[in-house]
Amino acid sequence: MRRKRPSITLSNLLIEDYAAEGKCIARQDGKVIFVEGVVPGDRVDIRILKSKKDWAEAVPIAFIEKAKERVDPFCAHFGVCGGCQWQMLPYAKQLQYKQQQVEQTLQRIGKVALPTILPIAGASPTTGYRNKIEYTFGNKRYLLPSELGNEEISSQSNVAGFHARGFFDKIVDIDTCHLQTSPSNELRNFIKALALQKGWTFYDSRAHQGYLRNLQLRLCRSGELMVNLIVGEDKPKQTRELLEVLHEKFPAITTLLYTVNTKWNDSIQDLQPVVFSGKGYVEEILRGKDPEEIYRFKIGPLSFFQTNTSQAETLYRLTAEAAALTGRETLYDLYCGTGSIGIFLSRKAGRIVGVEQVAAAIEDAKENAKINQIENASFFAGDVIDVCTDEFFAGQGRPDVIVTDPPRAGMHETLIDKLLEIAASTVVYVSCNPATQARDLQRLDRVYQVTHVQPVDMFPHTHHIENIVQLKRR
């Protein structure tokens, strides 16, 4: 048998600075230690989880002294639920550390010449900002540290909330979540209480059985509310009974659906939600800088849309500024999704060409263009590498401006080669991961110069951050 290594603990370390991705830095004998769950100014005892020659990763096991700038978290579940990581920091301080992360990441990884980085665009409001949220039902409750070892408290109980961080089968039982406004909490708690009363089963992630599985809510600025109940067993009579009660008790619901998911994973992208009442989708509204600029987007249960509507407006307005359109340009929107960025910029461009791999998203984009009476936008399904050929350019025109908004992994090297080959005069790179963005900027550097950097905070009280970079052809 392999011997278990003894755990290494270090005492009385000062947390010196913020690093990135929610981790802070301490040092011991010249070695950098990345610590989770702390803020600069804390003095802690830590346990080492991973140790290399020059760095290590650790978690706090005791707080000797807490940083003076800490504030009391407003959520009773903070520290247990992984939805928010920074409620113990004033919002202004959160923005400071996010700004610092962008600056240091672009400098350290990108190693390219940078202009003065603009101040981060903060969010308002900082609670209740999510238009989409997904809750999980389960039969294993995550026990709090204070409950461990208490034989009178069992983890075998039916709960509704979020997956505990690091556990696929344990659920943090949520009473009140502050990420979405009413009636989000009321809906979740009502379904849970009714199921307990009726004796309906909650999903078991290990045994892959149980009735109640997930609850998706989409609450729009338009006032429309979409509820998608996801069940792990096909029980039509039981489902109808539950949906009829929800329809009666919650008149705010404008579209009520259910999805039967008997798979071993929670993804429903390959499933077909069934409409119980309403039109089967909701409409969201985005406003441009000018009062007459109003855009409407049709959002179905499987559609992607930015989850913070207010900050999506900020992000798109700042993207428009970086694109610096005059009304004549052909703009290519890569990774266009359901077309929201391209449609938002369409009145300022001569022509919009959107490209996206997911065919269903392209159909949504075409529908959204029709809703907004946008006639200068075309959307195409396929990989950018395959779509953007000389024949395609002959039909659609070569881009003057490119907007690219890739997933967290950034752009594939072959796509970067394609961008260098296309050589549009301006590229606007929107990223949700400054580290992969910085890597890609280095690859683009031989043709493009970074001329504008604008961080945007889309998710207050988390370590996530968006960043807009304008690049000009040299």
Burial of 218 (0-12, 13-18, 19+ CB in 10 A): buried
Predicted pLDDT at 3: 57
Predicted pLDDT at 151: 64
Tens digits of residue pLDDT in 348-380: 999 999 999 989 899 999 999 999 999 999 999
Structural domains of the chain in order of their starting residue, each with its CATH number? 8-70 (2.40.50.140), 95-125+306-473 (3.40.50.150), 132-283 (2.40.50.1070)
Tens digits of residue pLDDT in 80-136: 887 899 999 999 999 999 999 999 999 999 999 999 999 999 999 999 999 999 999
pLDDT averaged over every residue in the chain: 94
Burial of 46 (0-12, 13-18, 19+ CB in 10 A): buried
Residues with Cβ within 8 Å of residue 140, at least 6 apart in sequence: 155, 156, 157, 159, 169, 170, 171, 204, 205
pLDDT average, residue stretch 269-292: 94
Predicted pLDDT at 4: 57
Q: Is residue 143 pLDDT above 60, yes or no?
A: yes
Q: Is residue 169 pLDDT above 80, yes or no?
A: yes
User: By percentage, how much of the chain surpasses pLDDT 90?
Assistant: 88
Predicted pLDDT at 144: 78
Structure tokens belonging to residue 137: 């039902």
**Minimum mean pLDDT among 152-166, 203-217, 286-300: which range?**
152-166
Tens digits of residue pLDDT in 407-448: 999 999 999 999 999 999 999 999 999 999 999 999 999 999
Q: Is residue 346 pLDDT above 70, yes or no?
A: yes
CA distance 231 to 191: 12
Predicted pLDDT at 206: 93
- Which helix (DSSP H) or strand (DSSP E) does residue 97 occupy? helix 91-105
User: By percentage, how much of the chain surpasses pLDDT 70?
Assistant: 97
Q: Is residue 283 pLDDT above 80, yes or no?
A: yes
CA distance 295 to 363: 17
Q: pTM of the full predicted structure? A: 0.93
- Residue 81 known to be catalytic: no
Determine how β-strand 274-277 pairs with β-strand 255-260: antiparallel
pLDDT average, residue stretch 322-335: 96
Q: Is residue 5 pLDDT above 70, yes or no?
A: no
- If one compares 290 and 308, the residue with the highest pLDDT of the two is 308
- If one compares 227 and 5, the residue with the highest pLDDT of the two is 227
Tens digits of residue pLDDT in 227-264: 999 999 999 999 999 999 999 999 999 999 999 999 99
Predicted pLDDT at 147: 74
Structure tokens belonging to residue 38: 């702390």
Which residue out of 81, 84, 388, 432 is catalytically annotated? 432
Banded pLDDT at 21 (limits 50, 70, 90): confident
Predicted pLDDT at 152: 64
